[in-house]
Structure 1
């Protein structure tokens, strides 16, 4: 897992700060999930019913929706592929290893986009924006960091309830 991105650590700019936090939170989610049994990854301890595997798939699709479908304006066949019947969904044949690889791959794509683009650049017009003006890459990155931080906090609690890893 990458080290915590301390505010005092030198960085080449705001883009690098965003990427460090995003990498840290993404790997934190994966480490928490890896510390659970397969039964705990596929089961839920929460009234809402979401599972750690569903969370992994959701976060992969969050990056897909915001970076590829939104910012890049790419045609994405199923941007909401993490959902079924208005809730997160993972098919029985989807494995932790596959979901982990997909999340890391999506993260590598996000990194490449951010490293090659000015944070002030605006997203491509398209259906992601639902008629609003496209957001800047900086606003998208801020949104992704908060999304990951929030969900890592959720997973912290689930892991503790399951007897899995605790702490950062």
Structure 2
């Protein structure tokens, strides 16, 4: 699926729609870059930090889960750090790019429903996500998610270029 960049000049009903458009764009751009990489590049790393493109896909799904479900909504999550093992991102050998992409997209559907169905000024539920700090409003969480995606998509741009994959937007 290809989504055009959400130009600031495109009309939007409200700020929630703007956040959803950017998150959808970044999510689909990330998945397009990952799906264009050769299979061998998906589970290997070209970086000293050691993360792989598949680990990044899984990580971003869990980022949305932690910030929206576990944090803002205050839902119990059995293992909110399920994208990690031994203090680093982890993808099991049995996990496929298709499964991870589907999980990320499904999480995105949930995120979009929360953003469009909730006042952006609403304050998140108190809980362990905030580590004792007061919960932030949904709008601040949305800003955080946008910057998280933008930053990681930039990282993936470099990895894809090194791997001979697609470059640019």
Q: TM-score, normalised by structure 2?
A: 0.99
1:41-52 correspondence to structure 2 within 5 Å: 41-52=42-53
Q: How many residues align?
A: 168
Q: Distance in 2 between matches of 1:89 and 1:76?
A: 18
| In the alignment, structure 1 residue 135 sits paired with structure 2 residue 127 | no
Q: Distance in 2 between matches of 1:20 and 1:165?
A: 22
Unaligned runs of 5+ in 2: none
Aligned-residue CA RMSD (Å) = 0.5
Q: Distance in 2 between matches of 1:49 and 1:115?
A: 36
1:32-43 correspondence to structure 2 within 5 Å: 32-43=33-44
1:109: which partner in 2? 110
Residues 34-79 of structure 1 deviation map (CA, whole Å, 9 limit, x = unaligned):
0101110100000110000000000000000000000000000111
The alignment partner of 1:166 has SS state of coil
Q: Distance in 2 between matches of 1:61 and 1:23?
A: 16
1:2, distance to aligned residue in structure 2 (A): 1.1
| In the alignment, structure 1 residue 154 sits paired with structure 2 residue 159 | no
1:126: which partner in 2? 127
The alignment partner of 1:110 has SS state of helix
1:90, distance to aligned residue in structure 2 (A): 0.3
The alignment partner of 2:65 has SS state of helix
1:54: which partner in 2? 55
1:88: which partner in 2? 89
